[in-house]
Amino acid sequence: MKRKAKQGNFGKNILMTMLITGTVFAGSASALAAEKDVESYTLDSIVVTAQRYATEELDTPAAVEVFTQEQLVATGGTNLQEALKFGTGLIYHAQGPRGTSQGTMTSKIVIRGVEKGTLVLIDGVPLNQSGRYNLDDIPVETVERVEIIRGGGSVLYGSEATGGVINIITKGKRTNSVRTAFGNYGMQSHAFNTQAGKLGISYSYDKTGAVDNISDPSGGRPEGMYYNIIRGEHNTANLRYDFNDAMYLSYTYGENNAHYVYRYSKQQDANGKDIDYKNAIHTTKNNNAQLHYDKDDWKAVLSYVRREQETRSKTATKKSGNYIPGVTTSDSKGYDDKSLGMDIQKKWELGKNIGLLGFNFQRDTCDYKEVDKTNMAQNRDYERNMYSFYGQYNYELNKLSNLIVSARETWTGSTTAGQNYNKFTPEIEYIHKLDDDTSAYAKAGQSFMMPTFSQIYGSGNIIGNATLEPQHGNHFEIGLKKNTNTHMWRLAVFNYKINDSIESKWKDNYTEVEYTNEDIKNTGIELTCAIDMGQGWKANWGASYSNPKKLVTINDAGTITEGSWRNYYGKLQLNGGLNYNKGKWSGAINANYLGERTRDNDAQASMKPQLFTDLNIVYKPTKNEKVYLNLENIFDRRDIVSTSTSTFYNLGRNVMVGYEFNF
């Protein structure tokens, strides 16, 4: 079946967006570029790839934020899920501390309030599979920089970029180094990097030990159940071989294991302790292979991405309303997601103008396997081909102004049970240089996201919904960027409405989930500034305010009227950082506050504000040595890091001490 997006007043809104461009004074998030020293910013020109080819950030009509590897390390995060939580307009969403995943319940970085709308790319290759991307599996050791592009990016990058794009650029040549670190809560973090001619090798290991009561029993399923971590481990190995300046091959293998014990607070054992309701081990194995070619304005990549996820659990047997301690039933279930992809693009320099054409193919398969409590095996296989043609034309109106028109046509084929879709997404952008250091822009475009296999066909406790529409939205943004010798000012004002957003709902028994289409919308403003204060001091701050809402499609037990808009996520976000780098000492302190939060459930209860803090101090006794101390959650807050009915908490105040040696 073919489905078409609702066009609405898209054309009229494009014109309105263009007319009000001049009312904006400064745009986008602080863009931070690479330096050799740790934890420092530079206010020099930044080159980004938001347009699918290199442009200066000041000349890019989008809200872009760039984190270098050094800046990611300075946040104290050992994986990208943790390191990106201090970004402007980014909401950290997790089912426990340090981004540890629980099988299919994985952590997310929510951009501008769109939960299912973050497209994660590794060197331009989509990482998303079955709606998951596992940023907690990516160590900062393997990353050169991360570009965050806020706002709908489906026209150039494809499905799932309805909130924005996280583009991860991995390291080319490695610095020979070894690092080790230990902390409380049983934390460990170790890494090794080496370069042998054309071959670069990186390996990292990260562990979190036992942490009890990471969730609130009142939101458990069944009510009274809460989560405890026994251990969480991540292993990642990355290889890259450069054949020449135009071609390289990379391969990454990652494996994470998380052991959880779920306890039931409404029943105690003979020793007066809450009984063990479930004992579960979640294992995920990731394979990512890419062959890249980049020469003479041609770019091509062949990719193979595979994620194997398995959950093995033992659940207490229930009799006469009570669980019987020690009497359990076993089950296992998991996914084997595979994506084979190809992307080819060509750029043309047409005098003062630039043209771009590209083709993308991706074949997705998913093998779902389950052995239930009665030892009955269920195996289901799904498949889908996705094709896209995309293009862009950057036309110079005059020496100060450019008009950029982009479009993508995407369709699916060979889909299980014939659920095929067809989407056309256009975008128009305008950028004007007020002077060499100031630019204003306006943009209007559309985005889309295809339903996943489990959402359409069901799996585990998910009931399939074959009538799901693709998620599609209209996006509008205006902004202006201003650089001075010591400041980078960015302001963005945005509005979007996403029709048929794919949202999950508990069934009446609260044990099964079904996905439905609901509309969401948001209007907001983001202001950021990066400052060079001299004498080794740098600073950055950001403020954003928005009003994300979701349209209720059914009457939820009389608590919310059908057809009304309800609040969704948080509204006010304040973030900032202070950095020092001089001589043998360097350090960084970062904070991110999220307030005016609302639960995404029927009760619509307000939530306490969230405040993330981190202090990182580095001392270099010699040129090749580095000793560091990282203190996270300085005020020892017990913050809620989820927004759904279940309440999950972050890790308490924690300290990690490490040593690094370069050779």
> What does the alpha-carbon distance between residue 236 and residue 233 come to, in Å, rounded to a whole number?
10
Q: Report which residue type is found at 537.
A: W
Residue 6 clears pLDDT 80, i.e. is over it: no
**Per the domain annotation, does 2 fall within a domain?**
no
Lowest mean pLDDT among 11-20, 209-218, 225-234, 281-290: 11-20
**Cβ neighbours of 4 (radius 10 Å):** 12
**Per the domain annotation, does 1 fall within a domain?**
no
**Per the domain annotation, does 157 fall within a domain?**
yes
**Per the domain annotation, does 597 fall within a domain?**
yes
Exposed/middle/buried for residue 44 (C-beta within 10 Å: 0-12, 13-18, 19+): exposed
Residues 174-182: what's their mean pLDDT?
96
Tell me the pairing of strands 422-435 and 610-619: unpaired
**Per the domain annotation, does 241 fall within a domain?**
yes
What 8-state DSSP symbol labels residue 414? Answer: S
Tell me the pairing of strands 513-534 and 462-463: parallel
Residue 554 clears pLDDT 60, i.e. is over it: no
Tell me which residue range forms the domain holding 541: 10-662
**Per the domain annotation, does 5 fall within a domain?**
no
Exposed/middle/buried for residue 3 (C-beta within 10 Å: 0-12, 13-18, 19+): middle
> What does the alpha-carbon distance between residue 564 and residue 240 come to, in Å, rounded to a whole number?
52
**Cβ neighbours of 464 (radius 10 Å):** 18
Q: Write out pLDDT tens, residues 300-328.
A: 999 999 999 999 999 988 888 788 877 88
Q: How confident is the model at residue 26 (pLDDT cuts 50, 70, 90)?
A: very low
**Per the domain annotation, does 3 fall within a domain?**
no
Task: Measure CA 486 to chain center.
Answer: 31
Residue 40 clears pLDDT 60, i.e. is over it: no
**Per the domain annotation, does 4 fall within a domain?**
no
Full-model pTM: 0.88
> What does the alpha-carbon distance between residue 82 and residue 139 come to, in Å, rounded to a whole number?
10
- In 450-486, DSSP assigns E strands to 458-459, 462-463, 471-483
Which CATH number fits the domain that encloses residue 205?
2.40.170.20
Q: Write out pLDDT tens, residues 229-245.
A: 999 999 999 999 999 99
* Helix or strand run (H / E) with residue 13: helix 10-19
> What does the alpha-carbon distance between residue 553 and residue 455 come to, in Å, rounded to a whole number?
18
pLDDT cut 90: percent of the chain above it? 64
Tell me the pairing of strands 188-196 and 108-111: unpaired
Counted domains in the chain: 1
Q: Report which residue type is found at 402.
A: N
